[in-house]
Structure 1
């Protein structure tokens, strides 16, 4: 929700940064893979207990994730394939980041397992909505707004890194929010399908 509500306010800054990357002839696909690599590095930092490095790497990965799409739009290189690759690698960063916590703080394993389950459910409803609904936005596919988006996820991961004694309640609360997001979208998709019968 933060992404959707606040993106327009920060987009001019992202545009300036993206223009610098365009001048360096860095492709959107390269930025997407770099975001994945930096996000994976954040997981290794978390597993090793270097939480400040982990948080900084995580947010850098998030920034790069914003810039790949911005560069694609500035250079006219947007594509459905790029959008899907971006979405999948985003989820992989989140999954790998949780693996780092699983190694470092195994006492919250139940919350981690539930995270994977609700993310699969939520992401599936997101992809189905993206495939079904007409795209009226600037992205390469329909982007269905949710309560829990990327920024909320990174805020939760940051809280987990800073407050390891509270990982279980923090992540369980977020799991409930992700589940709620998926249920709302699931109902919208079902309603749409019924209207098309």
Structure 2
């Protein structure tokens, strides 16, 4: 029986492979897709702040798709670089921060203390993932 990681990878490939084939014929660079992901995430945050949660959720999903596509395109076109990997991780954290900040701005005027604490905890957790991975790799 395949592992959850294998199933997730297979599903991601089924989604991204046809799109990567199309994107590889364009002049778009993987790093461009990374910046598009950030722009979409900022749009999602704005939608959330203004109360358009469905639109915000859809934009979060679309930004996630772009996050999958940038790396897949880089690998497919043999344009993978260390800079691209660092840029991708950095933009991922900024995208998450934008979305979490959008949620915070929405809840703060409502004095929804529990929601604010949970969102802040999620933001910290999101940053800790990268820190722990980098620290573990540094320690060997």
Identify whether the pair has TM-score above 0.5, normalized to the shorter chain: yes
Q: Distance in 2 between matches of 1:2 and 1:96?
A: 29
Cα distance change of structure 1 residues 112 and 12 upon mapping to structure 2, 3 Å threshold? closer
How many pairs align? 133
Q: C-alpha displacement at 1:5, in angstroms?
A: 4.3
The answer for the alignment partner of 1:10 in structure 2 is 12
Q: C-alpha displacement at 1:4, in angstroms?
A: 6.0
Aligned to 1:68, the other structure's residue is in SS state: helix
Is 2:50 aligned against 1:43?
A: no
Q: Distance in 2 between matches of 1:52 and 1:77?
A: 35
Listed one character per residue, the Cα deviations across residues 172-192 of structure 1 (whole Å, up to 9, x for unaligned) are xxxxxxxxxxxxxxxxx6xx5
Tell me the TM-score normalised to structure 1 length. 0.62
Q: Distance in 2 between matches of 1:44 and 1:3?
A: 32
Q: Distance in 1 between matches of 2:39 and 2:4?
A: 24
Q: Distance in 1 between matches of 2:105 and 2:94?
A: 17
The answer for the alignment partner of 1:74 in structure 2 is 76
Tell me the TM-score normalised to structure 2 length. 0.85
Is 2:116 aligned against 1:109?
A: yes
User: RMSD of the alignment, in Å?
Assistant: 2.0
